[in-house]
Amino acid sequence: MTCKELVELVTDYMEGALDADASARFEEHVTACPECLVHLGQMRLTVRAVGRLRGEDISPDARDHLLASFRNWRREG
Ligand SMILES: [Zn+2]
C-alpha cells in the first residue's frame, strides 16, 4: 500500500468499512510509516471536529484540498 492509497482509504478505515485484508495492509503501512500515522491522527481529530464520519459527506473540494495538503506535507517532510 502506498501513502496515496492510504489517504484514500483512511475514511473507510475509520468507519470499519475495509475488509480484513485491506485493514491489515492499512495497519501494516501505518505501523511502518510515521507520516501516515500522524495523518491518521489528524484525520481522527478532523472527523471529531466535524462530527461526521461518512466519506460522502466530504465535499469534492474539501477532499481535493485534503489530498493537496497531504502531498505538500509529504514534500516538505
Ligand atoms: Zn505512508
| pLDDT 10s digits, 20-58 | 999 999 999 999 999 999 999 988 888 777 665 555 566
pLDDT at 58: 64
Average of per-residue pLDDT across 52-75: 68
Ligand 1 centroid–CA 18 distance in Å is 17
CA of 76 to the centre of ligand 1 (A): 14
24-32: list long-range contacts, CB under 8 Å, 24+ apart.
25/1, 26/1, 28/1, 29/1, 29/3, 30/6
Distance 60 CA to ligand 1 centre (A): 22
Q: Which residues surround ligand 1, an ion (CB under 5 A)?
A: 3, 33, 36
Measured distance CA(66)–CA(77) in Å, rounded: 16
Q: Is the pTM of this model over 0.75?
A: no
Q: Which residues in 15-38 are b (16+ Cβ under 10 Å) and which e?
A: eeebeeeeeeebeebbeebeebee
State the pLDDT confidence band at 66, using cuts at 50, 70 and 90: confident
- Gap from CA of 49 to ligand 1 centroid (Å): 23
